[in-house]
Chains A and B, each alone.
Chain A
Amino acid sequence: MAVVGSKATVTLQADEQILITREFDAPKDLVYRVWTEPELIRRWWGGELGEVTVAESDPRVGGTWRCAMVTDEGSEVAFGGEYREIVPEERIVSTEVYEGMPEAEALNTVTFSETDGRTTLTILVEHKSKEARDAHIESGMEVGMQEGMDLLERIAISLR
């Protein structure tokens, strides 16, 4: 399934893989810049979760990235990793680790593809082990739960 629009789609591809897909109304050179330039990363990486305090990115093979934010509750969370493969405006492979759980490293493959001036971004997150994936899942669950939704309908949509 490739539903695109204002909402990210997240699917579990396999035991240790998560795929995130989103379309943007912009050509891929711009999406790539926003994804890799520190001053631009700073403006979106925190989402609604907190204020970005660190945004570093050196997109070369062997270069590193690091981002941190202070959440509304006042705690700082930091993520970082190393760039493993760079094809400008096409593909980035990098590691990602949440500094609070250094053993749970993931490998992220990001691709950019453009059609009619719109860019589809995909992020494939691969964990080294089921344990690392579960740690990632548990950290995600701390973000909070939304109650009162139609559970069956949402499950059907999420899993399709």
Chain B
Amino acid sequence: MARAATTTDAFNAVAEPRRREILDLLATGERPVNEVVRSLGISQPLASKHLRVLREVGAVEVREEGRQRLYRLNAQALRPIYDWVSSYERSWSERFDRLDDVLGKLKEEEGSGGGG
């Protein structure tokens, strides 16, 4: 099966663990490439490749300052992921809270029957 290109949307872009690390780092503030390289312990070409993918989906933005290129997170581009993950997480959390209640009752029933 052919894989979709990593640059087609934000979901693909963040499916790569290193790119999630870069987003976490940039979530704390704007950084030049060499800080990304140092913080993640990866090579400069690899960092540049990941940053390029993130830029193509709009997840990071770059600006020139003197001789440096500074990267920052553009949270709006990740909004669809955020919205979806949080609603999905919330509905599952609500189900699991109820599951806890059902389990509690079952444990009581088993407990009253001895053993345990």
Contact = CB atoms under 8 A, between A and B. Distances in A.
Q: DSSP class of A's interface residues: helix, strand, loop or mixed?
A: mixed
Contact of A154 (B86, B98, B104): B86
Interface string A141-153: 1011110010111
A60 interface: no
B49 interface: no
A27 B86 CA distance: 28
B84 A141 contact: yes
Contacts of A44: 95-96, 98-99, 101-102
Interface residues of B, number: 43
A14 B81 contact: no
B27 A152 contact: yes
Interface residues of A, number: 46
Interface string B82-97: 1111111111111111
B107 A30 contact: yes
B73 interface: yes
B15 A34 contact: no
Contact of A141 (B8, B14, B83, B100): B83
A44 B101 CA distance: 8
A159 B102 contact: no
B96 A30 contact: no
Given A12-B81, A26-B106, A137-B84, 4 more contacts: A7-B89, A15-B12, A22-B92, A143-B87
Smallest CB-CB A-B distances: 3 pairs: A47-B94, A44-B98, A47-B95
